[in-house]
Amino acid sequence: MTFTIHETFEYSIGEFALPYLINADSTGLNDEEHSLVDEWFDSSTDQWRDADDNLWVYTHMSVVEDSREEFAYDDITGHYGTTQKVILFFIRVV
């Protein structure tokens, strides 16, 4: 098997979610926020196949430096608030 980083996806997510996503620290999240973050992460990192039937697998996430926005659309909640851009990395399994 050969692995090649080939695909990335960028999202704007609420700052409230970063400690949980980066350090698994859900302190400060209420039950609804916890569920929203889990649902977003699960759906965003699902394995998928492209048109040529190549399998793509999630590897890691990176926070984009200096990407903080005071009032921007949060891809997790669907509301506006303070966000950071994150990039999800996928590899193609050949």
User: Domain extents for the chain?
Assistant: 3-93
Percent of the chain with pLDDT over 90: 73
pTM of the model: 0.84
Distance of alpha carbon 29 from alpha carbon 36, whole angstroms? 10
Question: Would you state the pLDDT for residue 92?
Answer: 85
Distance of alpha carbon 92 from alpha carbon 83, whole angstroms? 29
Question: Would you state the pLDDT for residue 55?
Answer: 86
pLDDT in tens, 19-59: 999 999 999 999 999 999 999 999 999 988 888 888 888 98
Q: Which residues partner with 69 through β-bridges?
A: 83
pLDDT-based confidence at residue 4 (cuts at 50, 70, 90):
low
